[in-house]
Amino acid sequence: MAATATAPLWTALENLPRPALTELFADPGRLDRYAAVLDLPGGPIRFDWSKTHLSADVEAVLGQIADAVDLAGSRDALFAGALINNTEGRAATHMAERGAGNPAAAEEAERFHERMQALVEAIHEGLLGEVKSLIHIGIGGSALGPALAIDALAREDARVAVHVVSNVDAAALAAATAQCDPATTLIAVASKTFTTTETLMNAVSALDWLREGGVEDPFGRVVALTAAPDKAVAWGVDETRVLPFAETVGGRYSLWSSIGFPIALALGWEGFAAFLAGAAAIDRHFLEAAPSDNVVIRAAFADLYYTQARHCGSRAVFAYDERLRLLPSYLQQLEMESNGKRVLADGTPLSRPSAPVTWGGVGTDAQHAVFQLLHQGTHLIPVDFLAVSVPGHDFDPAHHRILLANCFAQGAALMAGKAGGDDMARDYPGDRPSVTILCDELGAATLGSLIAFHEHRTFVSAMMLGINPFDQFGVELGKAIAKSIEAGDAQFDPSTTALLAAAGIDG
């Protein structure tokens, strides 16, 4: 539907009354209505939107917008494998990687997974020699997902130690190689197109490191993870160690594919299968649950209310569990590259705000760094708190009690505030929204569920606004200019020219 057709509804959303959160809690049924528990493969996850300004009136208008844009039809088209990524003429089949959606895509994904499983198990059985370490080289979606999963799930008892390298700054590669022995290290090169400049440069340097470390056949230690297997083979990787995935799997949605190879290598195939199962459970929920019970749709409704009606320019995510410290960075890419657009899917201008700036941090560290602004600053910033009931350590349980107490206290304080009396410096205005997501335990299945939840949440927001969340042309211009600098064949503005000269780079 054209954006002009939904414009009156967005205006109606902006003009709704704005009762304070404390007023909304006058409804004794509010908690039951806005808190939900999903029983998932990794254990229950509790979602609590009661401390947001969602109400029956707000959801009614957002529901009308969802109907007007045929959100249900877009969801069905996504799962059916329709060419929903219209600007690139592709489907978006990351759900097929966990067995959902288009049957043909799911069958292909299963074949690719079987190939990956065979290689993972061969490595674990010692058929490639002793392997103690893997250096996983990628960038963007080829690195952020594996890094998050490895950090969250494989801190102890990893079958193989995994080091993720993304930055073209060789200091990152140096830090990884310093922890590895070339004789017992594999290199994974993760690139959807197998043309990514930063990744291939790091890969060449990693091969040099293997060679200098006495490895006679460095390419024999390389595994390629790509949607362009022919290019990987042409680059020098043996076909038996090329793990393909479908071109219709977007980079930032690709950790379910062979990009998840390091996850499987660290956890074992059983762990990776649980990761997929957790995500598949959210796929089923999103596809089958009624809108009023659908946690994905409700999350997107809250996001849209704050960006569109309250004009909030950012959303904060705080993980009250050290194992989830990389989740805010992962969500930055997922949400900002997907929905940070200025045109609709048909190419016409977007007249409304698109994605907010997603940012965040970790638990009590963030409290002592940025919460001053959240509580007393002039910006209204919706907050997501993520916590886990069972700790990831065996130290004194008091650590975890204090951690969770801080998490829940922050949400309560943001909502209630506190009057400062004559001392306005100590005045907390309150009425500041937050969502709490509480997991029972953090295992592979739970992490899979959390990530899939955020994927679909991002998709719903995009469909409600009428944009395509699956392309990312915004990253291309700067990369093209960087290549022209390297080639020395471009003219620039005086500032850029002076910077190149000051740094000793020929422009």
3-state SS assignment for residue 231: helix
Rounded CA separation 293/59 (Å): 12
Count CB atoms within 10 A of the CB of residue 357: 14
Q: Judge whether 418 counts as a catalytic residue.
A: no
Tokens 């059983």 sit on residue: 270
Chain centroid to CA 209: 31
Q: Judge whether 479 counts as a catalytic residue.
A: yes
User: Which is catalytic among the residues 59, 198, 337, 455?
Assistant: 337
Of 29, 254, 70, the C-alpha closest to 148 is 254
Which neighbouring-strand residues pair with 242?
Answer: 224
Tokens 């899917």 sit on residue: 345
**Structure tokens belonging to residue 126:** 């010692």
Tokens 């097929």 sit on residue: 96
DSSP states of 318-383: EEESGGGTTHHHHHHHHHHHHH--SB-TTSSBP-S--PPEEEEEEHHHHHTTTHHHHHHSSS---E
Of 338, 329, 276, 340, the C-alpha closest to 139 is 329
Rounded CA separation 85/103 (Å): 19
**Structure tokens belonging to residue 58:** 């707000």
Of 36, 111, 62, 85, the C-alpha closest to 282 is 36
Of 98, 213, 165, the C-alpha closest to 455 is 98
Of 377, 147, 404, 410, the C-alpha closest to 255 is 147
Q: Judge whether 192 counts as a catalytic residue.
A: no
User: Which is catalytic among the residues 311, 379, 393, 479?
Assistant: 479
Which neighbouring-strand residues pair with 35?
Answer: 48
3-state SS assignment for residue 331: helix
User: Which is catalytic among the residues 125, 216, 368, 476?
Assistant: 368
Q: Maximum CA pair distance of the chain?
A: 76
In single-letter form, the type of residue at position 96 comes to A
Task: Enumerate residues 6+ apart whose C-beta is below 8 A from 386.
Answer: 317, 318, 319, 320, 321, 324, 327, 436, 437, 438, 439, 450
**Where in the sequence numbering do the catalytic residues fall?**
337, 368, 479
